[in-house]
Amino acid sequence: MIAAAVRSRLERGARSPLPLPPPRRPRLRLARAAQPLRPVRPAGPQRALLVEDDPAVAAIVRHRLTKAGYVLRHVSDGTEALQALEDALPDLAILDIKLPGMDGLELLSRLRALPGASATRVIMLTASSNEHDMVRAFGLGADDYLMKPFSPTELMVRVERLQRRA
């Protein structure tokens, strides 16, 4: 169709269009000087609270967080975790949903109600694949949600990502 229109114009002796200006050279962008990265964490070790009632899962998470330099407090009961949160807010909290004493969603709700708790990053680490639980966790202020079984490497990548956002 286009070829036919061009052929028709050429056969009728149409004037050639005005010459096009030379193509503009793209401007070379100079690389910006590297901006100094803000520290990933404030001075001093990061504090983490792990609320997990499964000893095997707790051992894996404990190992990885302490290896990454966290000062870790581990509790296996939701009520005990609330007391720990009221004593001192951690920089990171990893919460299971199904806990004795108080479930992790109720604990998350109470955590977010504490003054200054908005700076605490929260990862829900749970076997609950219930979409309602996930939606509720994010609605209550969870920063991330990871389902069991999980990769310890993936957990640490998520922890590091949250650190950079802080």
User: pLDDT, tens digit, for every residue of 57-108?
Assistant: 999 999 999 999 999 999 999 999 999 999 999 999 999 999 999 999 999 9
Q: What are 41's two structure tokens?
A: 């964490």
Where is 121: in which H helix or E strand? strand 121-126
Question: Of 93 and 45, which is predicted with more confidence?
Answer: 93
Q: Which domains does the chain have, with CATH numbers?
A: 47-165 (3.40.50.2300)
List C-alpha distances in Å: 76 to 12, 43, 89: 88, 29, 17
Reported confidence tier of residue 165, pLDDT bands at 50, 70, 90: confident
- Among residues 129, 122, 123, the alpha carbon closest in space to that of 149 is found at 129
